[in-house]
């Protein structure tokens, strides 16, 4: 019993230490008209160099650009940017115009006139359809490192029961960790939406699973539930009652700054 208690304590301490490293994130869903696709990619390439400067001075921990599927003109955003922060304070501190200009000049050695033109082009190239301030609260461990070209599923959840997060942690995370250990996916994470908040919020959480390639993603989508796992199926059924799956998006990583 003493050995079991010690083992549980070690596991708890290790998981607590890992949880402290989970990031704050800003998701910005971009709606881009078909005619602006080329301009938008040019703009994000320009901004990626600025984000590299922000990473270098510790303002942010990283930045990603994902393409989204389905991406029809009447199906919401076509792209998603993700900015990672080490603290809530950093996430909630906006960049001033002077900071943006300083970063841009350092990254591109650009004139004020050309920078003004690029800022105007940025605004015209896309519409920030939705912005979410979030905190990752649970994640699997020991998965492969992220790289450009990987895929992800984003499941938008509406919490229906106060036990929802507990169910994700105690049931679903265990399954996802088994999949990571078996090489069936890269990682899984649970993200809580901080803002916007309130009863009218579309989604309170997002679960994200990442995959090394399209084959791994397809295998995950098509893999049937094992009917012999009766207890697991019962637990999953109970967990489903704690949330409403609003919708799913598939994403592919096309730019990454660390």
pLDDT per residue as tens digits for the range 169-220: 999 999 999 999 999 999 999 999 999 998 888 999 999 999 999 999 999 9
Q: What is the pLDDT of residue 228?
A: 56
User: How much is the pLDDT for 76?
Assistant: 83
The answer to whether domain 24-131 and domain 135-251 are alike in fold is yes
Is-contact 77 66, C-beta < 8 A? no
* Domain 24-131, CATH: 3.30.70
- Average predicted confidence (pLDDT) for the chain: 89
List beta partners, residue 63.
83, 257
Task: Report yes or no: 136 and 190 within 8 Å, Cβ to Cβ.
Answer: yes
Q: Which of 56-60, 75-79, 238-242 has the lowest mean pLDDT?
A: 238-242
Q: In CATH terms, is domain 135-251 a member of 3.50.50.60? A: no
70 or 65, greater pLDDT: 65
C-alpha 73/C-alpha 191 separation (Å) is 27
Residue range 129-170, pLDDT digits in tens: 999 999 999 999 999 999 999 999 999 999 999 999 999 999
Give the whole-angstrom CA distance, residue 53 versus residue 63.
11
**Extents of the domains making up the chain:** 24-131, 135-251
pTM confidence score: 0.87
Mean pLDDT of 75-83: 93
């Amino acid at each position: 019993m003493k050995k079991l208690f010690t083992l549980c304590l070690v596991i708890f301490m290790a998981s607590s230490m890992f949880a402290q490293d989970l990031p704050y994130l800003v998701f910005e869903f971009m709606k881009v008209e078909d005619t602006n696709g080329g301009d938008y990619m040019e703009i994000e390439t320009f901004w990626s160099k600025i984000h590299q400067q922000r990473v270098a001075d510790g303002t942010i921990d990283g930045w990603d650009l994902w393409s989204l599927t389905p991406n029809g003109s009447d199906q919401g955003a076509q792209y998603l940017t993700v900015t990672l922060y080490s603290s809530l304070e950093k996430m909630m501190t906006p960049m001033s115009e002077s900071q943006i200009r300083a970063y841009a000049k350092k990254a591109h050695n650009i004139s004020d006139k050309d920078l003004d033109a690029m800022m105007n082009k940025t605004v015209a190239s896309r519409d920030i359809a939705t912005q979410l301030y979030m905190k990752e609260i649970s994640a699997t461990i020991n998965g492969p490192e992220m790289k450009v070209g990987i895929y992800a599923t984003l499941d938008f959840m509406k919490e229906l029961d106060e036990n929802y997060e507990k169910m994700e942690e105690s049931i679903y995370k265990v399954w996802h960790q088994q999949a990571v250990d078996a090489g069936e996916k890269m990682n899984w994470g649970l993200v809580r939406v901080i803002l916007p908040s309130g009863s009218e919020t579309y989604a309170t959480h997002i679960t994200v699973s990442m995959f090394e390639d399209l084959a791994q993603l397809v295998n995950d989508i098509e893999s049937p539930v094992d009917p012999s796992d009766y207890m697991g199926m019962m637990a999953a059924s109970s967990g489903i009652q704690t949330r409403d799956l609003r919708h799913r998006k598939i994403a592919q990583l096309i730019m990454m700054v660390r």
